[in-house]
Amino acid sequence: MKTLILSIGLLTATAFSAVAAEPAMMVDTKMGKVMADAKGMTLYTFDKDTAGKSNCDKACLKKWPAFHAAAKSKAEGEWTLVKAADGKEMWAYGGKPLYTFSGDKKGGDMNGEGMGGVWHVAK
């Protein structure tokens, strides 16, 4: 009986660890549903990026930090990985690299929307 319970527990743990969680979540805002990181911080796209490539340089990343991926993250479906100017992997959705905004201080802030006419909340 102990062996059976242990086997079921091991199988369950293995099955759950194989299911990858999406790196971002959708949250309801005054602008409708937008993407946010695990802390609820709004994610943004940059019009000057090209499909699968970030064009936000190191100076840009100070104001618009890349939505970095964990070391062992794997691309799946619409979620891909691209290199940020700091050399680290960052998440992209539908080929568009994702960023947070240094001017957002708490989850739900969307102070970067429309900034410079080239920054937009990710939907």
Amino acid at 94: G
CA–CA separation, 58 vs 24, rounded Å? 23
Residuewise pLDDT in 10s, the chain (123 residues):
444 333 333 333 333 334 467 899 999 999 999 999 999 999 999 999 999 999 999 999 999 999 999 999 999 999 999 999 999 999 999 999 999 999 999 999 999 999 999 999 999
Q: What does pTM read for this prediction? A: 0.83
Q: Residues near 93 by Cβ (< 8 Å), separated by ≥ 6?
A: 24, 35, 78, 79, 80, 122
